[in-house]
A = this chain, B = another copy of it.
Amino acid sequence: ALAAIRAVTQAPATPPQVLWLNVSGLADAQLLKKIGEALTLHPLAMEDVVSLRQRPRVDNYDSHLYIPLKILQQDDNALTFNQLSIFLLNNLVVTFQEQTGDVLDAVRLRIRHGSGRIRQMGADYLMYSIIDTVIDNYFPCLEQINDLMEALEEKIIRNQAHKDSIEYIHRLKRDIQEVRRAIWPLRDAIGALYRDELPNVSKAIRPFLRDCQDHAILLFDSIENCREFANSLMDIYLSTLSNRMNEIMKVLTIISTIFIPLTFIAGIYGMNFATMPELQWRWGYATCLALMAICAAVMIGLFKHVGWLDFKQKTTITRK
């Protein structure tokens, strides 16, 4: 393979012919080193390829560009990020993938079925296609997070949310934060690609890069929106807790407040004093029960007046 690589780089540059060398897995340090040397990639960039915590950015090494990106991969339980390193040489694009994934298949498909453009244009267009594919890969994930939050919002508003919702929101927020950290520098990186005069990037590619940057900005907007949404969800969930507490307290207070005076009256006539005239009255017992009933009725009336007894109010202000 290395021989071929060497051959390629020494072949006279026939611009329309673009080569794409993709390396999956970074375990074989020897191979990486040889590729780096054969293509005279800068040693610092090759070090960064294997070090897995690179911020997305564009490094200009005069003869070539080095662009590390994060591919978002979404499992059942967690979001993972795979590092993708792109080198743009004269008529060659080299990519190193941390793990074999299916994200770049979209680019391969585009090339094979050839929408035409990708075959006519240079290596920079291939680079653009790869970056664009990586960015577009973020959108489904954001939409899913949004859907999850909307489902939870529905539950919270219907008062069916469970008490671990706060942890749930907390985890979503951490996911959002992770995605944000991957996207944020991306925006600037593509901006640099688009604005600066960089080697191997032709002027014809600029509208495409501008489009690509626009996608990145849109992505960033969406993620900021998700964050606001998550914060607002937290707020309404906490207020739901507060409301529920209010309800519980109301029930306790109503029951206590009604029965405590009644129990007190019962307590009085349970006393054993020798002379308690009421106890000997013929209608004493009945009067006592009646007194209790009146007492309870007054209490209930009062609570109704204060508005503590209607548990199902609805805000009826409507739009338009």
Contact = CB atoms under 8 A, between A and B. Distances in A.
A119 interface: no
A152 B317 contact: yes
Interface in A230-286: 232, 234-246, 248-253, 255-257, 259-264, 266-276, 278-282, 284-285
A148 B255 contact: no
B242 A253 contact: no
Contacts of A34: none
The copy count of this chain in the complex is: 5
A267 B253 CA distance: 20
Interface stretch (A81-89, A103-111, A213-221): A213-221
Contact of A259 (B162, B229, B250, B264): B264
A157 to B, nearest CB: 5
A144 B319 contact: yes
A223 to B, nearest CB: 12
Contact of A232 (B170, B259, B269): B170
B280 A285 contact: no
Contacts of A261: 255, 259
A113 interface: no
A225 interface: yes
A319 B144 CA distance: 8
Nearest to A313: B162
Contacts of A249: 245, 248-249, 252-253
B315 A44 contact: no
B53 A218 contact: yes
Contacts of A225: 177, 181
Given A207-B61, A232-B170, A272 B282 contact: no
A151 interface: yes
A165 interface: yes
A288 interface: yes
A170 B266 CA distance: 49
Interface of A: 42, 44, 48, 53-55, 57, 59, 61, 74-77, 144, 148, 151-153, 155, 157, 161-168, 170, 173-174, 177, 181, 185, 207-208, 210-211, 214, 217-218, 221, 225, 228-229, 232, 234-246, 248-253, 255-257, 259-264, 266-276, 278-282, 284-285, 288-289, 308, 313-315, 317-320
27 contacts: A42-B207, A48-B211, A59-B207, A76-B319, A144-B319, A144-B320, A155-B315, A155-B317, A157-B164, A162-B315, A164-B315, A166-B239, A174-B229, A239-B241, A241-B242, A249-B253, A251-B253, A252-B257, A255-B256, A256-B256, A260-B263, A266-B271, A268-B289, A270-B271, A271-B288, A274-B279, A275-B285
Give the 4 A-B CB pairs with smallest separation, nearest first. Answer: A266-B267, A162-B313, A269-B271, A273-B285
